[in-house]
Structure 1
Amino acid sequence: MSDVSDNSAEEIESAAGPAPGDLDMTDEEGRILDQDEIDELLGFDEDADELQSTGIMELINSALVNYERLPMLDIVFDRLVRLMSTSLRNLTSDNVEISLDHISSVRFGDYLNSIPLPAMLCIFKAEEWDDHGLLVVDSALVYSVVDVLLGGRRGTSAMRVEGRPFTTIETTLIERMVNVVLGDMTSAFDPLSPVNFRLERIETNPRFATITQGNNAGVLVRMRIDMGDRSGRVEVMIPYATLEPIRELLLQMFMGEKFGQDSIWENHLTNELYMTDIEVQAILGETTVSLHDILNWEPGATVMFNTRVEDSVELRVGEHPMFTAKTGQRQGRIAVNVETYIAPGSGGGKRS
């Protein structure tokens, strides 16, 4: 009897299949997936390109707003790179080359956890937008700028001392460079929308540089700065909440674009309207007459108006009164002399 029960239990388990909580890590051929294949399926493949996401991570990040929907950012940051090339060259008295690596969308929390330390995290405020942004200077650029500003020899890479905090001198020198970068960023945004970026503080711990919630998306701009044999990176992180006041301007495809408006056609239409012929009627007088009186009219009948010779007449275009005028004669013809303009919706005239 026990053998029959065991066989029945095995048949029930085989028919029911795997438990709901069990993950089937086998392919169609029944082969078990190894760890690398599982990581690739979930989107955690470290060898994959940074700009290409796969698996479940693609679904998670699908809610992010793509920066390509804000095409004006490309123009703004291209302008920033040109301005920084000149400003940093004047600051360091050295040949400085700046390249824009890429612009991407990323969650603020994910970016904050990915910052390689040590680094200087500079929190700045956009005063007109009343919000903040983050500028990160990596350690390689910190030591390179300090070495150049303090007269280091050319052709030698900056010496890095790991495992210690940045000194006051290093922080002061980087603060000078950051103020230059923020000034150039102010100039880059100025043709689009006047804004002033002001440095508030410099942190070295990412926990103290939280300017928005971790799940909020933002625009991440990566720039590489080369000074001879020295190089480093500057990254600008601006949350989308900070850019919200100028979102409509960033949606433009080119500077000064106005959706639904064509200046050439507008000027042409305006000129054509000015050349339009319209009929103006001079109303000498109005009165109310009954139908019985009209039926009794005969040639030579006299119709009485309440208008005197010295009274003003009304000039109309269609049903709209436009001016009041005085009647007279000119070269044997009846003429009117315009005196006042009648504003739309008003009952009287306004002296023009």
Structure 2
Amino acid sequence: MTEVLSQDEIDQLLTAISSGDIDTEDVATHSESSNRKIKIYDFKRPDKFSKEQIRTVSIMHETFARLTTTSLSANLRSLVQVHVASVDQLTYEEFIRSIPNPTTLAVINMDPLKGSAILEIDPAITFSIIDRLFGGKGEGTKVTRDLTDIEQSVMEGIIVRILGNMREAWSQVIDLRPRLGQIETNPQFAQIVPPTEMVVLVTLETKVGDVEGMMNFCIPYLTIEPIISKLSAQYWYSSVRRGTTTENLNTLRDRLSAIEVDVVAEIGRLQLTMRDVLSLRVGDVIRLQNVRISDAMSLNVGNKTKFLCKPGLMGKKLAVQIIKQIKGPDADEFEELAAEVDEV
């Protein structure tokens, strides 16, 4: 708040400046120091994630939210909306104190990263999902209780589906293979890191039908530390632009290996006029120019000449034997290679 000087204070200040008791430079320095912004730093909970890394985590989980919206809507056959509400860093103790008891806490093994993470689902969302899968309208319950064995088994299936979406959302950074370890209902039994350890908390606003609640994904710094350098906008956008991860390349190879292409053994080529083609009859002989019986044939894959071959038989079937590979499709190169093979 700006302090307003009275007229007497202004007169005293002007008198002091004119008499030399106060230097104008000291006044200016004091004014600058008073306007200097001071950032409060708590050594008990140091910031371990930069703003850029927090932003990258947010982008990753926006993709996760879209995938989860689609998968849950299809599984529950109901309108489901999931979007990122916030991404914050805090201590693990603060996270545990902020969630209700009982609740649905899924301990996630973050292979190949060391350590675990926690996916917490609000009880209202949990019971809405269970009610929907059991044939109800998806109404939540105001009664707070632990899950039965059957309800816990149902939620395990839902969480496994959600983890599949998480793997796809993280694919640009790491080939994550999240696995469900166990489900707890009491937050005090899910001590995956020390209470003072810093975590990044992704809060997802979730709506199943008319029931609203939160899903929280808690990732300890110790778990995410090996890939912390990859959580930058530069790495993220470059990896998205490349799109050539090992997994993608292997997938492309597998799909290409099953594609059928035409392979044609070509004896030779000849140009004819349309009149000659129309006058052809059964028994006519077409003489190929500059082609001898001993010349190698070209083996074309699609519309590209790739090999030289010799005709023959394999059993009772016609066959060709590949004798040389052609590096380029040029005709001059083909003729030179054919001549070399003929000499041999």
TM-score, structure 1 length as denominator? 0.53
Counterpart among 246, 249, 254 of residue 230 in structure 2: 249
Deviations 1:211-239 (A, max 9, x none): 11111101101111112212221100001
| Structure 1 Cα separation of the partners of residues 120 and 185 of structure 2 | 10
Q: Is 2:172 the counterpart of 1:191?
A: yes
Matched, 1:202 2:180: no
Determine what percentage of the aligned residue pairs are the same residue.
27
Q: CA deviation at 1:256?
A: 4.5
Gaps of 5+ in 2: 1-38, 240-344
Match of 2:192 among 192, 211, 217: 211
Q: Choose 1 or 2 for highest CA Rg.
A: 1
* The structure with more helix, counted as a fraction of residues: 2
Any conservation in 2 of the 1:99–1:223 contact (CA below 8 Å)? yes
Amino acid at match of 1:81: A
Q: Distance in 2 between matches of 1:87 and 1:109?
A: 32
CA shift digits 1:20-62 (9 cap, x unpaired): xxxxxxxxxxxxxxxxxxxxxxxxxxxxxxxxxxxx9963566
Shift of 1:158: 2.2
Q: Deviations over 1:81-132 (max 9, x none)?
A: 1111111111111111112110000101121122112201110111111221
Which of 234, 239, 247 is matched with 2:215 structurally?
A: 234
SS at 1:153 equivalent:
coil
Instruction: Give 1:1-352 correspondences, 5 Å limit.
Output: 59=42, 63-70=46-53, 71-153=55-137, 157-162=139-144, 164-253=145-234, 255-257=236-238
Against the structure 1 CA distance between its residues 120 and 256, is the aligned structure 2 distance closer, same or farther, given a 3 Å change threshold?
Answer: same
SS in 2 for 1:142: helix
Gapped runs of 5+ residues in structure 1? 1-55, 259-352
Q: Could you tell me the TM-score, scaled by structure 2's length?
A: 0.55
| Alignment-derived partner of residue 289 in structure 1 | none
Q: Given that residues 106 and 180 in structure 2 are in contact (C-alpha distance below 8 angstroms), is that contact kept between their aligned partners in structure 1? A: yes
Matched-pair contact (CA < 8 Å) for 2:45–2:198: no
* Distance change (3 Å), C-alpha of 1:127 and 1:62: closer
Mapped contact 1:142–1:170 kept (Cα < 8 A): no
Aligned-residue Cα RMSD (Å) equals: 2.3
Contact persistence 1:103–1:222 (CA under 8 A): yes
Give, in angstroms, the shift of residue 67 of structure 1: 5.0
- Report the secondary structure of 2:233's partner residue: coil
* Change in 2 beyond 3 A, CA 1:69/1:87: same
Q: Is the Cα–Cα contact under 8 Å of residues 119 and 215 in structure 2 kept in the other structure?
A: yes
For 1:169, the aligned partner's letter is I
For the 8 Å contact 2:125–2:208, the answer to whether it is kept is: no
Residue 249 of structure 1: how far off its partner (Å): 0.8
